Structure 1
Amino acid sequence: MRPGHAWHVGWRWIVVLTGVAVLCCLPILASALPASVPRFTPRQLENLILGSQRLSFAGYAESDADFGLPPLPAFSTVTPLLDGVTRMRVWQAAPDHWRVDTLSDAGENDTYQVGDNTFVWDSGEQLLTGIYGPEVIRLPRAADLVPAALAVRLIEEAGPDAELSLLPPQRVAGQSAAGLAIRPASPQSTIARADIWAAPGTGLPLRVEIFGRGSAQPALETQFLQAGRWTPSGDVLTPQLGPGAGFTTTTPSAFAGVLQSLDDEVLPGSLAGFARGRSPVPQIGVYGGGLTSFAVLTFTPGTGAQLLSDALNAGAAQLAFRDGTMAVASAPLVNLVLVQPNTSPDTFLLVGLVSQATLEQAGAALAADPDQGQ
């Protein structure tokens, strides 16, 4: 081989390797570019974000949570969402027509929303489950952590009295994003602030951070690493069964897991100074409102006793008082109390965005008199 020819071959490889290195660095370079967005008022940006709900978009998102709640087996599908990283592929054609794939080392679980019906694919079981009818009551799922869904829920739940302010723009998912900070009006909320960054052209939320009181680090952050407008495709939003895969159907109530074991205990009209509000199901009492609220769930004897035992075994603090036994777990944003009264076979689960002391007070009132707790 001629020396000049060898030099040319080596130069070509240098060019190729340099090109690959540049392509690999593009996401890092894009995130380092200065962000520039139009001038908004806080209310204008809020309305832009709320108006983004009907966008068709696709992307890849990751959430990172550090709640530290005890791992209760009955809520095993929820625990990973509240501690650790959740990786999601997202496609949305409309608010009631979307798909979210949750990715893990063990495989993936895909959720398809088609109007009132939901389809869940479990790659480990090779099973597609059709859930026919609206899910009035369900456990949290990965789709709730998608930045677009979480941001809209925070704004709606914060209410018109929340304090709004602008944040410096950031580069998120390779694009400039306008920032909005939301502070709940009530000091009784465990949420001190929620920060949202959204695409200024469409209002699509790209990043959300939620801070607990007294914390400089977010307890929950979720962001798109890739996101953009998308032309809906039926193939993507329609579950596909491959060879050897199974299919089954169920009803929303049968798919609710541990929530099937709720009892019809009559709950009081107020607890710990919070009035009872409307609830989608009579078995769940919701007290307070928006980002300052908590729920009371009444479990039948067998399930309730197991929940209490699991919580104590997982490290929840045990409080013994005159009217029963209480297990308490505290997290940056969510507090949880389980109460077993001496005079009732049922077990009460109280969970929400209020202080641990508030839930303990409400739990003690329920144990003293489930029908007249104040």
Structure 2
Amino acid sequence: MRRRRTGAARRWAAVGGGVAVLLALPSLIGALPASDAGTPAADLRRAALASTGVAFTGYAQAAGGLALPVGEQLTGVADLLSDRTTMRTWYRGVGDWRVDVVTPTGETGVHADAGGTWTWDYVAGAATRTPDTALALPTAPDLLPSELGRRLLSEAGDAELSRFGADRVAGRDALGLRVVPAEEAASVGRVDVWVDAASGLPLRVQVFGHSGGEPAVDSSFLEVELTTPPAEIVDFAVPPAATIREGQDPQLLQAATRGTRGGLALPAVLAGLERRRIEGAPATVGVYGRGATLLTVSALPGRASAGLRSALAGAPDAVVDELGVRIAAGPLGLMLADGPDGTVLLSGTVTLDALAAAATELAGGAP
């Protein structure tokens, strides 16, 4: 009897061990070394840009390391770039997706359709409609590695691209693709994108300043499945008792339009960066540069600039001179410039020297 019990115990131990191995398989597979397919950098970028048609469901986190002292109108952007953002996402295609931002106090769902987005605040019972606009402040869905990776790769030249091996991201083989911006004004030292070897979907994105160290932005899928989510999960219908609000972006654009007394004259080139053509953008808002090197210039009303000026001037490393006040938070620069017709806000992934040069040019002086 003792032998029988011992034999049975061994068999059950073997079964238990087998079950343990089966349960551990997902994590073991995720820990396996990635296979580098040797795909050239230019081909890998093309695959990433073509991945807009790849449907998926996923769970992602984005961590921002940028401490931004800003006024109340930009508080949401500051929080987004300085905190950890946890997101669940369902993506059926361009303009047909849902991203739920998960916080300790609840969830906020962003649903995209052909005309823009609905943002549903579960706790407040409020639905905010934001139409597609020429210019928009960044939101949590913009930090998804799939979206962020494609945007940062979209305008990189072949000479700025290189490969750097492979890794396992969300249990999938991901090939490393690096962008080193060529512009002299660039404050971003490099962008590292891990691209799914099978589908081209960007799975992780890290943005570094010139000083290296920890990434200013680190966005990664923790889980991802390349399956098409049901339409009913993505679609949104405003609940009958919901409070309906207007998105903030149209309000800020309207403020920029009336921000200066005589109108802000924007040149074709600023700080060595060419102005972009953006259909529907106000004449007093200009975007310069490409890819990871962008500079945005807009007029700012006195009421909106007062709080922001105080916040910027109070930052430890703020530069205050005859041009105005400017700061750098990692690779992101912010400046309030004092122009002849009012206050101008300059912001973007450019150096403080580039901000000063742009302010000088706007004031009519030599760069």
Identify whether the pair has TM-score above 0.5, normalized to the shorter chain. Answer: yes
Asked if structure 1 preserves the Cα contact closer than 8 Å seen for 2:57 and 2:229, the reply is: no
2:255 paired with 1:261: yes
Per-residue deviation, 1:166: 1.5
Query: 1-side partners of 2:317 and 2:213: how far apart?
Result: 25
Query: 2-side partners of 1:298 and 1:174: how far apart?
Result: 46
Q: 2:134 aligns with which of 128, 133, 136?
A: 136
Per-residue deviation, 1:103: 0.8
Per-residue deviation, 1:117: 2.7
Query: 1-side partners of 2:72 and 2:255: how far apart?
Result: 14
Query: 2-side partners of 1:170 and 1:52: how far apart?
Result: 19
Query: 1-side partners of 2:350 and 2:103: how far apart?
Result: 32
Per-residue deviation, 1:100: 0.8
2:343 paired with 1:347: yes
Equivalent in the alignment of 1:157: 155
SS of 1:103's partner is strand
2:89 paired with 1:90: yes
- Tell me the amino acid that sits aligned with residue 176 of structure 2: G
Deviations 1:49-75 (A, max 9, x none): 111111111100111111222143211
1:31-110 correspondence runs (5 A): 31-110=30-109
Asked if structure 2 preserves the Cα contact closer than 8 Å seen for 1:91 and 1:100, the reply is: yes
Deviations 1:19-44 (A, max 9, x none): 57973x55543332111143311122
1:168-317 correspondence runs (5 A): 168-239=165-236, 245-248=241-244, 250=246, 255-262=249-256, 263=259, 265-269=263-267, 270-280=269-279, 281=281, 282-313=283-314, 315=316, 317=318
Asked if structure 2 preserves the Cα contact closer than 8 Å seen for 1:54 and 1:94, the reply is: yes
- Tell me the amino acid that sits aligned with residue 298 of structure 1: A
Query: 1-side partners of 2:242 and 2:310: how far apart?
Result: 35
Query: 2-side partners of 1:286 and 1:106: how far apart?
Result: 36
Query: 2-side partners of 1:316 and 1:294: how far apart?
Result: 20
Asked if structure 2 preserves the Cα contact closer than 8 Å seen for 1:34 and 1:171, the reply is: yes
SS of 2:76's partner is coil
SS of 1:78's partner is helix
Equivalent in the alignment of 2:355: 359
TM-score, scaled to structure 1: 0.84
- Tell me the amino acid that sits aligned with residue 309 of structure 2: L
Greater Cα offset, 312-321 or 329-338: 312-321
Query: 1-side partners of 2:335 and 2:249: how far apart?
Result: 24
Query: 1-side partners of 2:159 and 2:114: how far apart?
Result: 31
- Tell me the amino acid that sits aligned with residue 72 of structure 1: G
Number of residue equivalences: 357
2:321 paired with 1:327: no
Query: 2-side partners of 1:21 and 1:71: how far apart?
Result: 51
CA RMSD of aligned residues (A): 3.1
SS of 1:195's partner is strand
Asked if structure 1 preserves the Cα contact closer than 8 Å seen for 2:313 and 2:320, the reply is: no
SS of 2:356's partner is helix
Q: Which runs of 5+ in 2 are unaligned?
A: none
Per-residue deviation, 1:146: 0.6
Per-residue deviation, 1:237: 0.7
Per-residue deviation, 1:13: 11
Equivalent in the alignment of 1:338: 336
Per-residue deviation, 1:337: 0.7
Return closer, same or farther for 1:15/1:355 CA change in 2, 3 Å cut-off.
Answer: same
Return closer, same or farther for 1:130/1:272 CA change in 2, 3 Å cut-off.
Answer: closer
SS of 1:277's partner is coil
Deviations 1:239-289 (A, max 9, x none): 2566x8514254x6x654544421262223143344433234122112333
Per-residue deviation, 1:173: 0.2
Asked if structure 2 preserves the Cα contact closer than 8 Å seen for 1:89 and 1:102, the reply is: yes
Greater Cα offset, 138-147 or 30-39: 30-39
- Tell me the amino acid that sits aligned with residue 246 of structure 1: A
Return closer, same or farther for 1:79/1:228 CA change in 2, 3 Å cut-off.
Answer: same
